[in-house]
Amino acid sequence: MTDRTYRAAPSGALRIEPLGELTAIFDRRSMQTHLVVSPMPEILEAVGAAPCSAALLVSRLAATFDLAAADDVQPVLAERLGELTAMGLVERA
């Protein structure tokens, strides 16, 4: 489970529009609209084209966010990555 890596959508696939407290994301591949709140948009930005694990994601996000201990945060991020995978916004790498 902890070894899972993920990849972001190719550039140009997602149209991201902040709308106040929500972010609306249009996936041009699926024609779906997703409505998300922080930290999802930030997570999407931090997952890159290269395979990224939850652990790597923690370190990337720690640069901009005040995160608690990595042990606590990592499982939470793993869950979020699972959700983003179900939505099709990231893909298992």
Partner 1 sequence: MRHRIRIAVGPVQFRIGSDWAEPIAALERLYARYPQDDARPADATVRLFAARPWRRWLRPSVHIGGDFIVPDALPLPLSMGLLAAEMGMNLQVALGWRRHMLLHASAVAKDGRAMIMSGESGSGKSTLAALLGEGDWRLMGDEFTLIDPEGGDAFAFPRAVSLKNEAIAEVAARVDPSRLGPLLAGTPKGDIRHLIPRPEAVAAMHEPARPALLLFPRFGGETAIEPMGEGEAFVRLTEASTNYVALGEAGFAALTRLVREVPAFGISYPDSAAGIALVEQLWAETAR
Partner 2 sequence: MSAVRTLVDLLARRRDPATLAPRDWDSVIGVARSEAMLATLAHRLADADLRPTVAALFADQRTAAKVAQRQALWEAEMARRALAPAGIEFVLLKGAAYAAAGMSCAAGRQIGDLDILVLAHDIRRTENLLLKAGWEWVKSDPYDDAYYRQHMHELPPMIHKARDRMIDVHHTILPRTHRITPDALALVSDAVASGASFAVLNPADMACHCAAHMLADGDLQGGLRNLWDFHTMTRDFAAVDPAFWGKLDARADLHGLRGPVRRAARLARDLYGAVLPGGWDRQDPADRWFRRRLLARDDWGRVTNPLLEQAFYIRSHWLRMPPAMLAKHLWTKWRKR
Q: Which is nearer to partner 1, 26 or 65 (CB)?
A: 26
Count residues contacting partner 2 (CB under 8 A)?
Answer: 10
Is residue 15 part of the contact set for partner 2 (CB under 8 A)? no
Give residues 27-56 in contact with partner 1 (rule: CB under 8 A): 28, 31, 33, 35
Q: What is the 3-state secondary structure (H, E, C) of 54-87?
A: HHHHHHHHHCCCCCCCHHHHHHHHHHHHHHHHHH
Task: Show Cβ contacts of residue 66 under 8 Å, excluding neighbours closer than 6 positions.
Answer: none
d(CA 93, CA 23): 25
CB of 38 to partner 1, least distance (A): 12
* Interacting residues with partner 2 (CB under 8 A): 28-32, 86-88, 91-92
